[in-house]
Each structure stands twice: as structure tokens, then as C-alpha cells.
Amino acid sequence: MKSLIHWLENHIVPCIFKKYFDIECPGCGMQRSFIELLKGNLSESIKIYPPLIPMIIMVLLLILHLIFKLKNGAKVLKISFIFVALIIIINYILKLIIH
């Protein structure tokens, strides 16, 4: 696991949006947050990019729904998608205001 984390830390993809417009994009911080999550630093991961964990849960729900055809899976996925999208938007607005 340490070698994977080390590899990820050395191969972070730079944000093209930030490079050309000098403003963070709505996804900036996701890679660093994921690396912190892999290290076991939950609080640091949430500080860096709050939407990551709800996004992971949403993807897991999607996989479960695709495999097991959950009864209300589509409805739950729609609600979770809206929830994650709202977190991303709020996080992005706060980033723009604070930075």
C-alpha cells in the first residue's frame, strides 16, 4: 500500500483549469484528498476535498445497484447524485470566496 501511495503522490495530475485560468476547478483537491484517505487521515481528507467520501459512497451504491438490481436503487442514486453535486458546488463557492 505504501508503494501505491508513494506512486500516487509522485504522479498527481496538475489541474489544467488552474494552470490556464489561475483559479481552482470544482475538482481541485480530489487527488490529494484520496491520497490522504488511503493514508488513513480521514479528517485531513475531508478538509482537502469534502465531496470525496460522499462521492465514493455514491459510486459504491451504483455498483451495488448494477449488480443486485436494488428495488429503490435508481431513486437512491438520484438523491445521492444531487447531494454530492450540491456538496461540490458549495465547496467550490466557498473555495472561491475564501481564496
Provide the whole-model pTM: 0.89
Cα dihedral 47, 52, 53, 54 sign: positive
pLDDT at residue 99 above 80?
no
Going from the C-alpha of 11 to that of each of 4, 31, 51, the distances in angstroms are 10, 10, 22
The CA distance from 92 to 94, in Å, is 5
Q: What is the pLDDT of residues 18-29, one digit of tens each?
A: 999 988 899 999
* Mean pLDDT (whole number) for 76-96: 96
